[in-house]
Amino acid sequence: MIYLDNAATTPVIPAALEAAWPWLTTQFGNPSSTHELGHAADQALEKARSSVATFFGCKASEVVFTSGGTEGDNLAIIGLSLAHPRGRHIISVRTEHEAVLKSVEYLKRVHGFEVSWLPTNHAGEISLEDLRQALREDTTLVTVMVANNEIGTIHPIPEIAELAQKFGALIHTDAVQAVGWMGLNFPLLNVDALTISGHKFGSPKGSGATIIRSRLALEPLIHGGGQEFERRSGTENVAWAVALATALENLSPTNEEFTRVHTLRQQFIETATQNIPEAQLSGSVANCHPAIVGFTFPGLNGETLLLELEQRGIIVSSGSACAAGSDEPSHVLMACGFSEDQARTAVRFSFSHSTTSDELHQAANALRESVETLRQLGRG
Ligand code: PLP
């Protein structure tokens, strides 16, 4: 099996599991308990928090452990917007993950927020001029992701943040797909909040964190014992916090490694489009995630192609993992101006740091064979 669906999830790395194990077994204390077991758990939690803070260049008190990207996006978007009632206007992009889209829609539906959706070009890029025009005196929050999970398009977050701040708006970024692939220094990104999800980089599903600038007011989504600096109540998942921190510590992509995967991506695109001339690359050529490649295959159905590839041992996805299987056309491609029919032809390949040239060679061959088979069968 060649697994090219790393944007959906990744295997847990052994180091993360090993680091987490004691906090599930012998060291099972509740970090709020005042006895020895509790102290040990609390120390482990705070060590994990400091380690996450070191990775992102932020303060430990700015790290809130969550259950993953969906919760983190909800917490930042809803929590910040409700706590900053300077206005009720939010700016976002329709190519965002559902966790962002649905949080924004919730604020609109339940709390009467107005939403401005920034247009994108065919590659999913936004323009700073459109953002400038959308920003208003009463804009509370701008939320734009670092890198798109389906097409890999990268947004210029520091520039977006600078502009948003000129208007006094807060800025959140969903960095779920960017961890391990691009620099994510919290102060340099200049954002107020940033969300990550552990299972995208070798930590278990259900681990995550959101970094929220200290002293910013935040309306919690979960009420209770006041854990996580009153920002997210509930007994902390020490084991998953430790695993997340360990997975981050193990991510040390060198420039060579980054370039290696980027080069593999280019070669894969060239081979795939030579083999299948009608295949179209989706997303941006210039501003692209090194490990995410989206294609559309006119006349074919993405889900059918995915199954055909699976028969040949290649595991990919027809869009985001959440949308996959739902038979819904990719909302990301539709936001980029693709028709519903075109959006149904999407397939995403996403690599890991250990993806090899040989694997991509095999994947490109399997892709060619799969497309030929489906054409012969007349099955789009
Ligand atoms: N944001 C992006 C960009 C994602 O790709 C995902 C997951 O695919 C999420 C948020 C949701 O993260 P989680 O699966 O941890 O809830």
**Residue to mutate, 197, 237, 331, ligand 1, most ligand atoms under 8 Å from C-beta:** 197
pLDDT at 320: 52
Q: Please, which pLDDT band fits residue 380 given cuts at 50, 70 and 90?
A: low
User: Ligand 1: distance of its center to the CA of 171 in Å?
Assistant: 18
Contact 136, 167 (CB under 8 A): yes
Task: Determine the atom of ligand 1 nearest the C-alpha atom of 208.
Answer: 15
Contact 281, 123 (CB under 8 A): no
* Ligand 1 touching residue 195 (CB < 6 A): no
Q: Please, which pLDDT band fits residue 85 given cuts at 50, 70 and 90?
A: confident
152 pLDDT above the threshold of 80: yes
pLDDT at 253: 66
The 10s digit of each residue's pLDDT in 165-224 is 999 999 999 999 999 999 999 999 999 999 999 999 999 999 999 999 999 999 999 999
Q: Please, which pLDDT band fits residue 324 given cuts at 50, 70 and 90?
A: very low
pLDDT at 136: 97
User: Ligand 1: distance of its center to the CA of 368 in Å?
Assistant: 30
325 pLDDT above the threshold of 70: no
* Secondary structure letter of residue 198 according to DSSP: G
Burial of 66 per CB tally in 10 Å (0-12, 13-18, 19+): buried
> For residue 15, what are the CA distances in angstroms to 20, 54, 120, 351?
9, 19, 40, 20
- C-alpha triplet 103, 96, 281: angle, nearest 5°: 165
The 10s digit of each residue's pLDDT in 124-147 is 999 999 999 999 999 999 999 999
* Ligand 1 touching residue 70 (CB < 6 A): yes
The 10s digit of each residue's pLDDT in 211-228 is 999 999 999 999 999 999
Q: Is 322 a catalytic residue?
A: yes
The pTM score is 0.97
| CA 374 and chain centroid, separation | 32
Residues in Cβ contact with 31 at an 8 Å cutoff, skipping those fewer than 6 apart: 38, 41, 42, 44, 45, 227, 235, 236, 238
> Three-state DSSP class for 126?
coil
* Secondary structure letter of residue 5 according to DSSP: B
96 pLDDT above the threshold of 70: yes
The 10s digit of each residue's pLDDT in 101-121 is 999 999 999 999 999 999 999
The 10s digit of each residue's pLDDT in 262-272 is 999 999 999 99
Closest of 88, 125, 138 to residue 109, by C-alpha: 88
